[in-house]
Amino acid sequence: MRLLSPTKVRLLSFGRGDVLAGSGGPTVRSLTSPPLLTRRGLPKEKMSENGLMSRAKVLTIDTMNPTVKKVEYAVRGPIVQRAVELERELSEGMKKPFVEVIRANIGDAHAMGQQPITFFRQVLALCSYPELLNDSTFPEDAKSRAHRILQSCGGNSMGSYSASQGIDSVRQDVARYIERRDGGVSCDPDDIYLTTGASDGIVTMLKLLMCGEGAARTGVMISIPQYPLYSAALAELGAVQINYYLNEENCWSLDITELQRALDEARLHCNPRALCIINPGNPTGQVQSRECIEDVIRFAAKERLFLMADEVYQDNVYADGCQFHSFKKVLFEMGPEYSNTVELASFHSTSKCYMGECGFRGGYMEIINMDDDVKAQLTKLVSVRLCPPVPGQALMDLVVNPPQPGEPSYDNFIKERTATLSVLAEKAKLTEQVLNTVQGISCNPVQGAMYSFPRITIPKKAIEEALDKGQQPDMFYCMKMLEETGICLVPGSGFGQKEGTYHFRMTILPPTDKLQILLNKVKEFHQKFTQQYS
């Protein structure tokens, strides 16, 4: 089966179609071998009824969508699959050098023990079961939020479809939130689209931008290292990925000359149309300076690139002297020359920050300066999927419109929020400090987001053994760490890295005491690994 390349299948199929059409195809088609393996339901195929042929699947690895095959998503890749297996083995009583698997591969706050924000969950319970509105144990502000959300749902139920762009009142709340965040820069609720997590919004925007073939095919600039949603989406959409490298030596900063280099090279073989920025950075944790953002905007304006600003970690900034600046705000502060022309989409989510509500798949995007006709197309496109999950929309509403001073839930909300964020700041520092004590590991400060992306030195012997096994050296390293310590990390190769360098991504989310243990285990493993292969 496998000997059959997709190309051959295509040629064979052409031949058959021509017969039916009663016309001869170009000569090249007649050069193909007999139709042993065509899959088009030809009566001829029945000749091999008792052979392989009729057993063959309609859908095989050779005949499936080739762009899907190219998709890779390391955050839930082979290493995570092995982690799940190990968990099963442990639960079946198998002996391992560890008692539990620690999944530090993904930014999944609640799974790491972070508690949900009480107010959010109260309102969601009220929305789910409105009988509870009669229950006096719920605070009044939670009830009034729930009431307001339910009133904007069809039939006052979260079980109704919402408008495809999202519930009106929620979009209005998002717009007001953005205005407050951006010091009064105005925001039109019509520019807000609620989404199924930020990923959904990002893929939708990329989809709109696709066009052309060959050298005219849309190219999209993404950082290396990147969050692999981007590379996966580009592979699936058949877009050209244009890599620009972040500067590890300068705390993963973004450098305009590097953007220019990447763009100029790419222009030779594709049509670069979009520039994606993740700020604060995933997996690299840097927080962009205001000046850097201005430079990027100027670059996008000059080079006519559509800007996509992934700002899902906007509340996750820990380092002294760092501050989150939204692309929207900076764009508008640069004056009408920019704010009237640069096309921008920015993305936010309920999954990160202090709430960490990943399971609800809530999010929004704001689009700026989008052509009206294109916007109509966007609205049409999202309507096919009917609407984002309504509980996620409700949650988004609470995130952008949390308890206010004077409301009964305010104090508790602030207490919970502050506790989560200050613990994260502490863990960001701890991670950097501990990892930097290990010889062969060097780690930039985790200025923001939820991950550390340290560089690791892998001995030559280990690299050779990995290559022998057909594995990336950092995959080899992470796999070995998983087997020996139960710690599940994601190899740097899943995010991209400069050739010859190796990294891993680790989330800083585990509770402090557990994180401490984890870091020590990583340290010991690295030392042992280095010794073993030197």
Q: Does 192 contact other proteins by CB under 8 A? A: no
When the beta carbons of 216 and 414 are compared against other proteins, the nearer one is 216
When the beta carbons of 233 and 434 are compared against other proteins, the nearer one is 233
Q: Smallest distance from the beta carbon of 321 to other proteins, in angstroms?
A: 31
Residues 86-125 binding other proteins (CB under 8 A) are: 106, 108-114, 116, 121-122, 124-125
Q: Look up residue 404 and give its DSSP letter.
A: P
Q: Does 21 contact other proteins by CB under 8 A? A: yes
Residues 349-408 binding other proteins (CB under 8 A) are: 355-361, 369-371, 373-374, 376-377, 380-381, 383-392
Answer yes or no: are the C-beta atoms of 240 and 219 closer than 8 Å: yes
Q: Does 40 contact other proteins by CB under 8 A? A: yes
Q: Does 64 contact other proteins by CB under 8 A? A: yes
- Between 198 and 227, how does the x/- string for binding to other proteins read (CB under 8 A)? -xx------xxxxxx---x-----------
Q: Does 419 contact other proteins by CB under 8 A? A: no
Q: Does 196 contact other proteins by CB under 8 A? A: yes
Q: Does 422 contact other proteins by CB under 8 A? A: no
Tell me the backbone φ, ψ of residue 367, rounded to 5 degrees.
Answer: -115, 140
CB neighbourhood size of 28 (10 A): 9
The Cα-based distances of 146 to 62, 153, 398 in angstroms read: 51, 11, 10
When the beta carbons of 125 and 421 are compared against other proteins, the nearer one is 125
Residues 465-494 binding other proteins (CB under 8 A) are: none
Answer yes or no: are the C-beta atoms of 68 and 468 closer than 8 Å: no
Q: Smallest distance from the beta carbon of 305 to other proteins, in angstroms?
A: 7
When the beta carbons of 253 and 393 are compared against other proteins, the nearer one is 393
CA distance 301 to 344: 11
Q: Does 415 contact other proteins by CB under 8 A? A: no
Q: Does 229 contact other proteins by CB under 8 A? A: yes
When the beta carbons of 21 and 97 are compared against other proteins, the nearer one is 21
When the beta carbons of 154 and 183 are compared against other proteins, the nearer one is 154
Q: Does 266 contact other proteins by CB under 8 A? A: no
CA atoms within 13 A on the CB side of 387: 19
- Among 5, 6, 188, 250, which residue interacts with other proteins (rule: CB under 8 A)? 6
* Strands ordered across the beta sheet of 240-245: 192-196, 362-368, 344-349, 306-310, 271-278, 218-224, 240-245
Residues 323-352 binding other proteins (CB under 8 A) are: 341, 343
Q: Smallest distance from the beta carbon of 185 to other proteins, in angstroms?
A: 21
Q: Does 459 contact other proteins by CB under 8 A? A: no
When the beta carbons of 385 and 460 are compared against other proteins, the nearer one is 385
Q: Look up residue 190 and give its DSSP letter.
A: G
Q: Render the burial of 85-118: b for 16+ CB within 10 Å, e for the rest.
A: ebeeebeeeeeeeeeebbbbbbbbbeebebebbe
CA distance 174 to 400: 6
Tokens standing for residue 497: 């890295």
Q: Smallest distance from the beta carbon of 253 to other proteins, in angstroms?
A: 26
Q: Give the bridge partners for 367, in sequence order.
A: 345
Q: Does 69 contact other proteins by CB under 8 A? A: yes
CA distance 426 to 508: 10
- Between 236 and 255, how does the x/- string for binding to other proteins read (CB under 8 A)? x-------------------
Number of residues that bind other proteins (CB under 8 A): 110
DSSP string, 227-291: -THHHHHHHHHTPEEEEEE-BGGGTTB--HHHHHHHHHHHTTTSEEEEEEEESS-TTT-----HH
Q: Does 524 contact other proteins by CB under 8 A? A: no
Q: Does 164 contact other proteins by CB under 8 A? A: yes
CA distance 467 to 445: 31
Q: Does 421 contact other proteins by CB under 8 A? A: no
Q: How many Å is the Cα radius of gyration of the chain?
A: 26
